[in-house]
Amino acid sequence: MSSHRWPRSVYGEGVEPDPRFSLANERTFLAWIRTALALLAVAAAVDALPLGIGVRAQALLSTVLALTGLVAAVHAWRDWSRTEQAMRRDLPMPGNAAGIVVTVGVGLAGVVLLVASLMRGLA
């Protein structure tokens, strides 16, 4: 047991897994964090730049992207810790329900952008 490592809720129990698996879990965590940062950066850009799609559509688009980025960031931590705990306890790997949430969020942002662009073209 490695009680000196943080968070203790993850590292304070079970046995140390093969380092390759822990490092793969960390790479997955970092991929989710990169996705979250990209979504938040795009949300900030959408909010700041004049896109000519209407104030409400632009605000909705920015909000959807920001919320999706926040969900991705929370998922990154939650999934990393659950996977690490499962490896340490020799349990099956947990599922990944957040992938669908991020997919729906990005899809919804695309629909908002598409509808706003079509409405601008028809005006």
Q: What is the pLDDT along the chain (123 residues), one digit of tens a residue?
A: 445 788 888 888 899 999 999 999 999 999 999 999 999 999 999 999 998 888 998 999 999 999 999 999 999 999 999 999 999 999 999 988 878 888 999 999 899 888 888 887 776
CB 20 within 8 A of CB 46: no
- pTM, two decimals, is 0.84
CB 52 within 8 A of CB 110: no
CB 81 within 8 A of CB 33: no
CB 108 within 8 A of CB 64: yes
CB 51 within 8 A of CB 88: no
Q: In this structure, how many other beta carbons lie within 10 angstroms of the beta carbon of residue 99?
A: 13
CB 71 within 8 A of CB 101: yes
CB 105 within 8 A of CB 64: yes
